[in-house]
Amino acid sequence: MLDFDTCEKARQARDPAYDGRFFTAVRTTMIYCRPVCPVKQPLTKNVSYYPTAAACERAGYRPCLRCRPETAPFSPAWNGTRTTVERALKLIAEGALDNGSVDELAARLGVGARHLSRLFAVHVGASPLQTAQTLRIGRAKRLLDETALPVTEVALRCGFGSIRRFNAAFSRLYGRPPSAIRRPAR
């Protein structure tokens, strides 16, 4: 946390370089703001400074409706829909679509399946299922390159429901069957 004098100077100047680095809580109104808030400046004796919006709320302050401090830089809300897509990508990498559906993934994220698909189109350029398929095939290629596991075992470990689907997806992407990709033993 920055010292009081630094925060005070930044607040008085409404310095955007400090936006999101601290929050100003006003004791007389019980409201907290960002340092760039355009409202009339409170008296120095009435302010306290906190490192996060959560710390302000814990101390009993409510967010300003004008500067919306909960959307300050570095907060999840500031990242917007990208945060939802990043969470979805993490869950997909952990295998959320290997056993589940896009509807179940969307429910875990608190959005609808259609909205999730739209977000993926904007941020990733592919659907959640296409993204999961690409990750599965990438894992499969690594296993084929680095291990001597049978192709059937590789398909099952990578989240494919059947060897037939695995072979079809692999052939569609690489133009050859998975067995043709495997490096010969040294």
Respond yes or no: is residue 67 known to be catalytic: yes
Respond yes or no: is residue 158 known to be catalytic: no
Residue 159 contacts by C-beta under 8 Å, 6 or more apart in sequence?
Answer: 95, 97, 98, 99, 132, 136, 139
Respond yes or no: is residue 56 known to be catalytic: no
Long-range Cβ pairs for the range 49-55 (8 Å, 24+): 49/1, 49/2, 49/4, 49/7, 49/8, 49/22, 49/23, 49/24, 49/25, 50/1, 50/22, 50/23, 50/25, 51/1, 51/21, 51/22, 51/23, 52/23, 53/23, 55/23
Catalytic residue among 7, 56, 67, 158: 67
Catalytic residue among 7, 56, 64, 158: 64
Catalytic residue among 7, 33, 56, 158: 33
Structure tokens at 14: 């409404």
Catalytic residue among 7, 37, 56, 158: 37
In a 3-state reduction of DSSP, which class is residue 4? helix
- Catalytically active residues, by annotation: 33, 37, 64, 67
